[in-house]
């Protein structure tokens, strides 16, 4: 009861502070005051909401997401659409730290024997989810309100893009649930590793798909080999830059070893800043991915200098709580929930969610015997591939920007955001249940 009262008082206080800070920021010309207030609001409010939902045996990450939705533009509007965009850099900062943690979980002595199995599972899942969801959307596209009157080419492109986004997962949610439950075992390790492998593959798959779709619908666009070079540079460059940063971080810990918290935050800011920079290769814009850079840095530190960097990872673990609160709170506030107001679109959305869930389950049932997964946990590991968050959201924004002059692209993006919202909220529940049933979640019944 005390926790609930504190939470309600916080919401009331946020209303007051939001009104005051907006007026002060406008009169004193302090545009970043509102950003600072929103960061504090998300961190504190998400933390309290996480504690509340934990009382009813739900994952804390679900509470973080719910609080973000509550203060976002579709509920209390304490954070509007413009303010959401201003939080993007804070999101990249959080992704960098989450990626460092995920990279540190990848032990090479285990990974080297599993890498073929991991990419096999990831590949089977991408293909099956893509074909099932994309094929179903195209088959029923004449029943979807915003696609019914479109030419066949546009309906095919929308179906292909919906299918490829449906194949994306969320390393951040997987990492958050593993961190919360302190899980360790084949289900946790396999889920995290496959999710990371899928993300790396999705960089290539999505870039190729988007380029093809643009050429298919735009007479002025042409297919070229330039995007292959750009994608390769983006993928390999992100990993290479991350590896160099990891080596530099290990060197700092070895030679200095002081003020590690400040050093970690500064390193993550650097990763996020590098990710914000745009480059051009063969006429194609690219940027290095904070997620891949953080993964490479964490991986190389853990597997080459584990004894040296152990103190660093301990400090990173201590920072995980505020980072998860900020990241998932901002993700919840960033969801576009207007799609739930149209019953026909809502029905399509629910069908896509069910098809995606079924195809993820089928993928694991098909890939399991191929890679000789242990039957004891083969039927549970698929639940870790249901959540979606940052990666899928980024792909949706790329779809929207690539076809910015087409109304169908905005509506397709809104539909996908609704699908992601459901998978973001319900996915952590299933994954935590799978970890508990597998006996890997410490202290979980």
What proportion of the chain, given as a percentage, has pLDDT over 70? Answer: 87
pTM given for the model: 0.80
pLDDT band at 445 (very low <50, low <70, confident <90, very high): very low
For all residues of the chain together, what is the average pLDDT? 81
**Does 244 score more than 80 pLDDT?**
yes
Q: What is the pLDDT of residue 197?
A: 83
pLDDT band at 211 (very low <50, low <70, confident <90, very high): confident
Stronger pLDDT, 370 or 33, i.e. the higher one: 370
Per-residue model confidence as pLDDT tens digits over 63-92: 888 888 888 877 777 777 666 666 776 777
Average confidence (pLDDT) over 38-59: 82
**Does 212 score more than 70 pLDDT?**
yes
Stronger pLDDT, 205 or 378, i.e. the higher one: 205
pLDDT band at 248 (very low <50, low <70, confident <90, very high): very high
Q: What is the pLDDT of residue 125?
A: 92
CATH, domain 90-437, list 3.40.50.800, 1.20.1090.10, 1.20.1530.20, 3.40.50.1010 = 1.20.1530.20
Residues β-bridged to residue 285: 280
How far is residue 319's CA from residue 98's CA, in Å, rounded to a whole number? 10
How far is residue 275's CA from residue 293's CA, in Å, rounded to a whole number? 9
- Exposed, middle or buried: residue 11 (CB in 10 Å: 0-12, 13-18, 19+)? middle
**Does 29 score more than 80 pLDDT?**
no
Per-residue model confidence as pLDDT tens digits over 175-189: 888 888 888 888 888
Lowest mean pLDDT among 35-44, 93-102, 193-202, 301-310: 35-44
How far is residue 211's CA from residue 213's CA, in Å, rounded to a whole number? 6
Q: What is the pLDDT of residue 363?
A: 92
Q: What is the pLDDT of residue 159?
A: 92
Number of helices (H), then strands (E), belonging to the chain: the values are 17, 2
**Does 222 score more than 60 pLDDT?**
no
Stronger pLDDT, 361 or 259, i.e. the higher one: 361
Stronger pLDDT, 360 or 119, i.e. the higher one: 360
Q: What is the pLDDT of residue 199?
A: 77
**Does 25 score more than 70 pLDDT?**
no
End-to-end CA distance of the chain: 24
Lowest mean pLDDT among 60-64, 105-109, 355-359: 105-109
Stronger pLDDT, 31 or 60, i.e. the higher one: 60
Q: What is the pLDDT of residue 352?
A: 93
Per-residue model confidence as pLDDT tens digits over 318-375: 788 888 888 888 888 877 676 676 778 888 889 999 999 999 999 998 988 888 877 7
Domain ranges of the chain: 2-86, 90-437
Buried/exposed code over 366-381 (b: 16+ C-beta within 10 A; e: otherwise): ebbeebebeeebbebb
User: What own/partner pairs with CB < 8 Å and gap ≥ 24 does 416-419 have?
Assistant: 416/162, 416/165, 416/392, 417/335, 417/336, 417/337, 417/339, 417/393, 418/336, 418/337, 418/339, 418/340, 418/345, 418/346, 418/349, 419/166, 419/349, 419/352, 419/353, 419/356, 419/388
DSSP 141-206: GGGSTTTTTS-HHHHHHHHHHHHHHHT---HHHHHHHHHHHT--SHHHHHHHHHHHHHHHHHHHHH
Q: Which of the 8 DSSP states describes residue 34?
A: H
Average confidence (pLDDT) over 243-249: 92
How far is residue 215's CA from residue 56's CA, in Å, rounded to a whole number? 50
To 5 degrees, how large is the angle CA 26–CA 30–CA 33? Answer: 100
What proportion of the chain, given as a percentage, has pLDDT over 90? Answer: 12
Q: What is the pLDDT of residue 166?
A: 92
**Does 221 score more than 80 pLDDT?**
no
Whether the CB-CB separation of 178 and 192 falls below 8 Å is answered with yes
């Amino acid at each position: 009861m005390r926790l609930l009262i504190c939470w309600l008082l916080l919401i009331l206080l946020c209303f007051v502070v939001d009104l005051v800070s907006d007026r002060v920021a406008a009169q004193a010309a302090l545009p970043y005051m509102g950003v600072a207030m929103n960061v504090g609001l998300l961190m504190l409010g998400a933390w309290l909401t996480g504690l509340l939902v934990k009382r009813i045996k739900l994952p804390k990450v679900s509470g973080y997401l719910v609080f973000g939705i509550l203060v976002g533009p579709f509920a209390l509007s304490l954070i509007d659409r413009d303010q959401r965009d201003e939080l993007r850099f804070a999101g990249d900062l959080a992704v960098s730290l989450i990626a460092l943690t995920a990279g540190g979980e990848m032990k090479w002595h285990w990974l080297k024997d599993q890498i073929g199995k991991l990419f096999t599972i990831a590949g089977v899942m991408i293909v099956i989810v893509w074909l099932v969801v994309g094929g179903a959307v195209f088959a029923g596209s004449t029943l979807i309100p915003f696609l019914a009157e479109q030419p066949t080419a546009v309906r095919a492109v929308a179906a292909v893009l919906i299918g490829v986004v449906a194949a994306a997962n969320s390393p951040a949610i997987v990492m958050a649930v593993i961190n919360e439950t302190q899980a360790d075992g084949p289900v946790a390790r396999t889920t995290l590793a496959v999710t990371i492998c899928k993300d790396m593959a999705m960089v290539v798959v999505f870039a190729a798909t988007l380029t093809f779709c643009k050429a298919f619908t735009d007479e002025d666009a042409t297919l070229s080999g330039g995007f292959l070079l750009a994608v390769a540079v983006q993928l390999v460059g992100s990993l290479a830059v991350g590896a160099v940063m990891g080596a530099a971080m290990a060197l700092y810990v070895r030679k200095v070893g002081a003020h590690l918290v400040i050093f970690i935050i500064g390193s993550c800011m650097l990763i996020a800043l590098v990710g914000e920079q745009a480059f051009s290769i063969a006429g194609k814009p690219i940027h290095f991915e904070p997620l891949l850079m953080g993964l490479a840095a964490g991986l190389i530190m853990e597997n080459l200098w584990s004894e040296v960097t152990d103190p660093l990872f301990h400090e990173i673990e201590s920072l995980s709580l505020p980072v998860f609160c900020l990241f998932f709170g901002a993700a919840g506030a960033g969801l576009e929930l207007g799609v739930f107001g149209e019953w026909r679109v809502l029905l399509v959305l629910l069908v896509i969610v069910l098809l995606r869930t079924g195809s993820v389950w089928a993928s694991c049932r098909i890939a399991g015997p191929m890679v000789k997964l242990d039957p004891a946990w083969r039927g549970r590991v698929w639940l870790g591939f249901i959540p979606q968050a940052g990666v899928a959201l980024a792909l949706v924004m790329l779809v929207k920007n690539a076809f910015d002059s087409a109304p169908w692209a905005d509506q397709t993006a809104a539909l996908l955001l609704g699908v992601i919202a459901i998978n973001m909220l319900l996915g952590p529940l299933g994954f935590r249940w799978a970890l508990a049933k597998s006996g890997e979640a410490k202290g979980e019944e």
